[in-house]
Chain A
């Protein structure tokens, strides 16, 4: 796994350095150098996420991971895990613990923790978002399987139509007008209704859509708002602080908010209205250039969707593809009349093959993606505990002098 490779070399470098200069406590030059390496690594990692052709056109098939595909998001999470490990190394490894209990870190660390906890909730919401993508994947599979049958009759077309209509409505797209419905219904994040039961429920859920998709976060929770709050107090350190530990804390905060923002953008998540404008990557910083580019690219996509009056369900490449193919195949099944002209049939067959391929990529990628998000979750929890332990030590050892 690339994550561990990166991390290993960097961590050992840092610890060796620290050991060499252990007598010269607070060697400023060394600190600056570390900070520089940290920034350089961040910059490199994120530029890896920009593949050669995605910079020219975002939709062309790339040799590595297509922009915003499941594979790409997994790579993004790898990058996060690497950055996180290095950050922790810079912050606490072999360092005098009292350093992080003094200003300005005594203020910055709790803020960082606050963001970390919000990130955990985003991880949970996204985990559930992926569950709902899997629901859609199943509908797409049903549709594809029906349309693959030969001879293709009205029976199969009808079945496919039902599944596709269910798929698009689960995605929050109104199949009759072709446009998106209001954000209210997107991704079947229906509110947890009380009671229910009985016959009427069957009707409400003709497509067998479950109401149980809000798990993970309470109903008034909003992913977009979390992002907004996380980035609200992000201020770049100035003056002397800029060369101290305040800098890596700031950088890591930006990385965290960016990665969470991108996750929320890519994957269905409860309430993301206004996501496009809720977070900006600072443009003037050298290490953030790739991030700025990625942010712009994703932001454009978000705005495009929002302009169409859609609540951005998820920019994940596979989801977008599923939506497009779903709409087109729904049209095909809707107007289905036997016999179908050969060329139309061929066209549909190609789309079905595409849809099947997309489903396969989801089948292969979504569960590992969920596991990885959980890994991010645990990593954030663990790091928080580790830093707290250091603070605890610092608190105890410095208590008499205070």
Chain B
């Protein structure tokens, strides 16, 4: 019973207290300026309240049970200080109760912080420090959790973008002019490795389910003004991830010196990796990274996702830029043209992405540097192109060569064919490069319509190069012994040019008229070949030529026949060893030889059969015609002297 009584009394007292407190509050609200005496009384009142925190707002007093709260939430937080393992690994409930505890402590800290007058009270000060201490532990823990989540949920995207891998290894345009005569040259065709249609898509660099966790951590860390710590951890981990990814792409860290000293093969390999990696990195990886930054930091306003992104991507970009710079610093070389064009094209193609990723607002020079690099690569490409032209003009034979298709012709034509695959880029780059020296413009004769192909800058340059090649071949042919061989050499090579042009896309750039002219040249050399090879032998077969020779000295028909056969055998011996690889051309030559020479022989034999005498005719016309078929087969034969007397 006594208990019940005392409870009732207690209850009454509580009511009184509440009513009195309300009175005080109302009075305080009404009165803004407290006198010292009043303050003293209130302060006494304050110290009478055990274990309670008194808060003031607009001079009014609010009581909250801070100590209890700090104790309660502090326990939730401090439990993880001793517990091993990660909170987020224990499930969402644990994580959200932890975050909740942190938020509550933050609230208390904030409330206390906004009333500095309270801090003069020793008790409150102590509570405040304790709350700060707990909060500090929590921030430290959250940072670890953040790094753990970032690493654990990092996603490495892949194979479909990695499919160019095999491409990187096979070098297709690594021949140099120097090696041209030593190496057999396969097709120079460049691998067109422009990205797949899907290369525009974004990927999740962090598993989507982790994003909300990261954001909730960000939110409490930012609330505690721990944004710097958050960003630092975020940047470092993402930077490492990018570095690892570049290692997967096998991008190597090279110095400028290394790159400048690299041989053509290594350079070509590195360059292709560059082209391939840059596309993936910019178009997929960094665009996704940028989205991630926006996703996580976008709502906080305090840090710019832009700036964080630059911190993550910056150093990797410098690596790409510096490799490009090193390439562009090198001496322009024809064999590097296609590599540089690949680099130029990929960079030009990525420029819009680069501009949006590294815009000027970020204060970063990366965007500008890429633009500058693009123009330097363009200069280098133009320089290499001119260098190629110079080589075509001035290349001289360095060692003996045969009458067959010269590797220089092969190289140059393949080079031209490869140039065409870069049509748009080259048309853009070459438009201001003079195609001086020769008249290469198409002739609009016969009302023939000039296609856009024929008149584009690249076409003009291609025709100029082909003309220069012809000139070079003419000069080169002088190194061969004897006019007939020179003509065979030129025919072989011009024919090769014609075939290359006709059988490829080059055809539309050269135009039919130009090809006709080239074929005309071919015919001219064919006639010249017959003339220079056979004219002296054919003279022997002519009946009227010896008119000025006195009858006394006039050789008999028989000896003229013998002399002709001897000359034929001589020519047979040398020209069977010559090569005309093109069967059509070879056949044409056999036919015109038959027409010009065997016909004349048949006529001569027919007219003078009696004088010569059957037994002195070693070959009839058919036999000789068959022998002509042995010409240009590439294996030297001689007609057996056994048939001679």
Which residues from chain A sit less than 8 Å from chain B, CB to CB? 117-118, 120-121, 124, 127-128, 131, 135, 138-139, 141-142, 145, 149, 151, 153-156, 158-159, 162, 192, 194-199, 201-202, 205-206, 208-212, 214-219, 221, 338, 367, 371, 374, 378, 381, 384-385, 388
Contacts and interface: CB of A to CB of B under 8 A. Distances in A.
Given A121-B257, A388-B331, A153 B247 contact: no
Contacts of A145: 225, 228
Nearest to A120: B256
Interface residues of B, number: 55
Contacts of B363: 367
Given A121-B255, A210-B236, A221-B255, A142 B151 contact: no
B239 A118 contact: no
B136 A156 contact: yes
Interface of B: 119, 125, 128-130, 132-137, 139-140, 143-144, 147-148, 151-152, 154, 225, 228-229, 232-233, 235-237, 239-240, 242-244, 247, 252-258, 260, 314-316, 318-319, 322, 325, 329, 331, 363, 365, 369, 372
Given A192-B243, A197-B154, A210-B239, A215 B319 contact: yes
Interface of A (DSSP majority class)? helix
A387 to B, nearest CB: 12
Contact of A208 (B136, B232, B372): B232
A218 B243 contact: no
Contact of B140 (A162, A201, A384): A162
A121 B260 CA distance: 12
Q: Which 6 A-B pairs have the closest CB atoms?
A: A155-B136, A210-B236, A153-B129, A155-B132, A215-B315, A155-B133
B329 A384 contact: yes
A215 B253 contact: yes
Contact of B314 (A121, A131, A371): A131
Contacts of B235: 210
Contact of A212 (B152, B258, B315): B315
A198 B247 contact: no
A305 to B, nearest CB: 26
A159 B239 contact: no
A231 to B, nearest CB: 16
A127 B319 CA distance: 12
B240 A211 contact: yes
B152 A199 contact: yes
A375 B616 CA distance: 90
Given A212-B240, A218-B254, A124 B322 contact: yes
A212 B239 contact: yes
Contacts of B260: 117
Nearest to B261: A117
A215 B318 contact: yes
A154 B257 CA distance: 52
A244 to B, nearest CB: 26
Contact of A218 (B148, B233, B242, B255): B255
A323 B252 CA distance: 33
Contacts of A162: 140
Given A211-B240, A212-B315, A381 B151 contact: no
Contacts of A155: 129, 132-137
21 contacts: A118-B257, A121-B257, A145-B225, A151-B125, A151-B129, A155-B133, A158-B136, A159-B139, A192-B247, A195-B244, A197-B244, A208-B233, A208-B236, A210-B236, A210-B239, A210-B240, A211-B243, A215-B253, A216-B319, A217-B253, A385-B329
Contact of B148 (A192, A202, A209): A202
A208 B152 CA distance: 15
Contacts of B229: 142, 208
A8 B358 CA distance: 33
Contacts of A139: 232
Contacts of B316: 215
A159 B229 CA distance: 10
A209 B229 CA distance: 11
A366 B137 CA distance: 33
B140 to A, nearest CB: 7
B78 to A, nearest CB: 12
A194 B134 CA distance: 37
A131 B315 contact: yes
A216 B315 contact: yes
Contacts of B134: 155
B325 A202 contact: no
A154 B133 contact: yes
A109 to B, nearest CB: 14
A367 B369 CA distance: 15
Contacts of B253: 192, 214-219
Given A153-B133, A158-B133, A216-B318, A208 B147 contact: yes
